[in-house]
Amino acid sequence: MRAFRGSAPCARMGLAAIVPRAQGALLQTFLVAFLLLASVLHAQAIEPMPFTSHAQELRFQQLTAQLRCPMCQNETLADSNAPIARDLRNQIFQQMQQGKSDEEIKQYLVARYSDYVLYDPPLKAGTVLLWFGPLLILLGGAGVVLMAIRKRSRTATAAENLSDSEPAEHGDDW
């Protein structure tokens, strides 16, 4: 796994996975040295940008929150400290300044990094099951529930045993 290249910036990676193991003095020195270097290179998700308006800042925040960082794949582009995330945020900012729409910016990224970079799966032939699956399950389940209610209703009308409540609480229907 390309762990070390990304491990320093990827804050949320792994409960125990990426802590380097000091298993030899030389390796240990090397790893510490590398990580120091990495922390200098440590791009930050906190990056003041010269937004022209609050609305623009909001749009930027919302857009980058919908995109996945290709390096630290558990984080959004808004939150990631990876160098590529910083580069992509700058790129997005520039494109916003150039007047590109959200769709165009997303297309730009998808063309280079595939659909994987979108947290919002586009509706395509392959994702029809994803987007409409819950609806189908709901309809199926609703059908089952309706049938159950109908069946119970019918026996209820027939058997007239509706008035007896649970006797445990002195006639309390609870």
Partner 1 sequence: MTPELGQLALILALLLALAQGILPLIGAWRGNRALMAVARPAAAGQAVFVAIAFGILVWAFVHFDFSVRYVADNSNLALPWYYRIAAVWGAHEGSLLLWIFILNVWTVALAAFSQKLPEVFASRVLAVMGLIAVGFLAFIIFTSDPFGRLLPMPGDGGDLNPVLQDPGMTFHPPVLYTGYVGFSVAFAFSIAALLGGELEQAWVRWARPWTNVAWAFLTCGIVAGSWWAYAELGWGGWWFWDPVENASFMPWLVGLALIHAQAVTEKRGSLRAWTILLSIFAFSLSLLGTFLVRSGVLTSVHAFASDPRRGVFILAFLTIVVGGSLLLYALRAPKVAGGKSFKLMSRETVLLIGNLMFAVAAAMVLLGTLFPLVGDALNMGRISVGPPYFGFLFPLLMLPVVLLLPFGPFLRWGKSDTPILKQVLLRAGIAAIACAIVAAFFVDGQPRAIAGVASLVWLGVGVALYAAKRWREMPRGRRYPAEMAGMLLAHLGVGVFVAGVLITESLSVTSDVRMAPGQTQHIAGYDFRFDGVHQTTGPNWRADQGVVTVTRGSDLVGVMHPQKRTYLRGQVQTESAVDAGLFRDLYVALGEPMDTANIEGAWSLRLYYKPFVRWIWGGGLLMMLGGFTCAADRRFRIKRIVESETVEVLLVQETHA
Partner 2 sequence: MSRLLPFLGFMLLVALFGFGIWWNTGHDPQAIPSPLLNKPAPAFALPKLYEPTVTVSKSDLLGKPYLLNVFASWCVECEVEHPVLQAETSTLGVLLVGYDYKDAPEDAKRWLSEHGNPYGLLIADQPGQTAIDFGVYGAPESFLIDGKGVIRYKHIGPLTADVVATELKPAIAAVLKESP
Nearest distance from C-beta of residue 41 to partner 1, angstroms: 11
Nearest distance from C-beta of residue 76 to partner 1, angstroms: 8
Nearest distance from C-beta of residue 161 to partner 1, angstroms: 6
- Using CB under 8 A as the binding rule, whether residue 91 contacts partner 1 is answered as no
Nearest distance from C-beta of residue 2 to partner 2, angstroms: 5
**145 contact, one of partner 1, partner 2, none, CB 5-8 Å limit per kind:** partner 1
Kindly tell me which residue out of 90, 94, 101, 127 binds partner 1, with binding defined by CB under 8 A.
127
Look-up of token digits 């984080």 = 75
- Using CB under 8 A as the binding rule, whether residue 71 contacts partner 2 is answered as yes
DSSP the chain: --HHHHHTT-TT-TTTTTSPP--SHHHHHHHHHHHHHHHHH---S------SSHHHHHHHHHHHHTBB-SSSTTSBTTT--SHHHHHHHHHHHHHHHTT--HHHHHHHHHHHH-GGGBSS----GGGHHHHHHHHHHHHHHHHHHHHHHHHHHHHHHHH---SPPPGGGTT---
Site for partner 1 in 8-47 (CB under 8 A): 8, 11-23, 31-32, 35-36, 38-40, 42, 44-47
Total site size for partner 1, rule CB under 8 A = 77
Kindly tell me which residue out of 56, 76, 91, 95 binds partner 2, with binding defined by CB under 8 A.
91
**42 contact, one of partner 2, partner 1, none, CB 5-8 Å limit per kind:** partner 1
83-97 vs 102-113: helix crossing angle, rounded to 10: 140
Alpha carbons 167 and 135: distance in angstroms, whole number: 40
Contacting positions for partner 2 (CB under 8 A):
1-2, 4-6, 34, 37-38, 41, 70-71, 73, 82-84, 87-88, 91, 110-114, 116-117
